[in-house]
Chain A
Amino acid sequence: MAAPFSRVYRPLWRIITTSTLNRGVRNVSSSRQQLSAQNVKPAGAASPWALHGAVCVQRLPAVSQDRSPIEEEFMELMHQKDVSSSERCLADSLILLVKKHVGSQKLWLLPQIQWQTGETLRQTAERALASLPGADLTATFLGNAPCGFYKYKYPKDIQKEGSVGAKVFFFKAVLPSHKHLPLEKNSFAWVKKEELQDFLKPEYLKQVRRFIMAL
């Protein structure tokens, strides 16, 4: 069933015409240049921002018809409340969140990992997905360009001259539909777009919400 245009396209144009994508394009091309011509940057001019690649893994909706009332009750009893099961809410698309130590706190984030020199940001995102403990997820990445961006500064006591903060680039990936793997309860969560606000910090949520489409 095709979704009506108006619901999808208004946020779509907002996504396309924002400047985050322009920033993303610049970064993609510069990382490619780094691969091809090794000595582009002079040695001393490292930027004070650490680069991270993050991956937004989505489990696409498996069912498109609305459920009957009996099915609704059954689903509520079984899987709805179990946030770590990837078989909940078959009519919506779910996103994987990971609980991670950032500095001194434990935060819910999209899986991210620091970028290393010599690899593209997409490879960083693939590494972030592969390095999740316990999960053997093989997702298909949709394209080489990042879809979102988040910048944060380290707290004052950690900031040094060379490192001010970190910039995170998000890449979209899609899980194959027939694989359902059990993950640890406390550190993984499959959430819908509406439930994101219960897990993510407000600033982070604001940037992440821009590229996540709820059908």
Chain B
Amino acid sequence: MSQGRRGRADTSVLYFFFKFIVFSIIFFVCAILLFQVLLLQNTQALVCAVSSVQQYRSMPTHGIGKYRHLLPKALPKKKKDRVQVKQIKAATATEFGVFNVCVSGYDMTLVEHYSQYIHNLCNHLDIKVDESYALPTKSTEVMVMQEQGTKMYLDAVLKTHERIVQISEMKATLFPIFMDVVLKNQPEGVRFCVKQHSETDFQARFKTRPELEGLLAKINN
């Protein structure tokens, strides 16, 4: 009898244990599901991802005016490094390499407008413009000889302005058309030429440093 009772007690304990396990499993599963549901609701509440600020206020419109997190990250300003020499691309069979279109003349408005016209033309035709810069103005003094005597005096100063538009990777088939358009719209008094870009052209833009050169000469000597 006691055995029976013990057996019954045993089975009841076992039964109880079994029930406990089942209920615990159910409880955990429900908890997980609930947690996921809550998480989903949370992510739906957060309008734009990538925000480090936690939405802990209860109003759904909390933080509605925030925009700083939408702007691109502004990097801290670096000090200007020395300008590196860019690799000059070589010409292939169907494309030109890097070449400079030089526009020069005495009248600055004409020269500027013509170079701007060429630049806009390239943009419109999807031609890659690497750089568009101006070379320093060169002054030419016009000296006139006096009527009686050998002395020359200054009559006028002519300033030559020069603008360069650097073009790279232009297709060879487009080049004659481009040249035709540019030549036909060349204003009077403006000189136009197309030159291959070279290392010397690049270096000519920099100022010379006489002290450095003097010191280098001293070291070499």
Contact = CB atoms under 8 A, between A and B. Distances in A.
A21 interface: yes
B185 A147 contact: no
Nearest to A21: B173
Interface string B110-149: 0001100100000011000000000000000000000000
A213 B188 CA distance: 20
Nearest to A173: B176
Given A28-B172, A32-B93, A145-B172, A64 B177 contact: no
Given A64-B188, A145-B172, A12 B94 contact: no
A213 B181 contact: yes
B173 A213 contact: no
Interface string A77-100: 000000000000000010000000
Nearest to A15: B177
Interface residues of B, number: 22
Contact of B181 (A1, A12, A174, A211): A12
Interface in A108-146: 142-145
B183 A143 contact: no
A60 interface: yes
B194 to A, nearest CB: 10
Most chain B beta-carbon contacts within 10 A, residue among A2, A32, A144, A211: A2
Nearest to A62: B188
Contact of B173 (A1, A25, A61, A174): A25
B187 interface: yes
B16 interface: no
B184 interface: yes
B46 interface: no
A181 interface: no
Interface string B78-100: 00000000000000011000000
A24 B181 contact: no
B177 A16 contact: yes
B176 A143 contact: yes
Most chain B beta-carbon contacts within 10 A, residue among A29, A143, A171, A172: A143
A43 interface: no
A2 B113 contact: yes
Contact of B184 (A9, A93, A171): A93
B175 interface: yes
B124 A5 contact: yes
A147 to B, nearest CB: 5
B179 interface: yes
B174 A29 contact: no
Contact of B177 (A1, A93, A147): A147
B188 A172 contact: no
A3 interface: yes
Given A2-B114, A29-B94, A32-B93, A60 B183 contact: yes
Given A60-B186, A213-B180, 5 more contacts: A8-B185, A28-B172, A60-B184, A174-B179, A213-B181
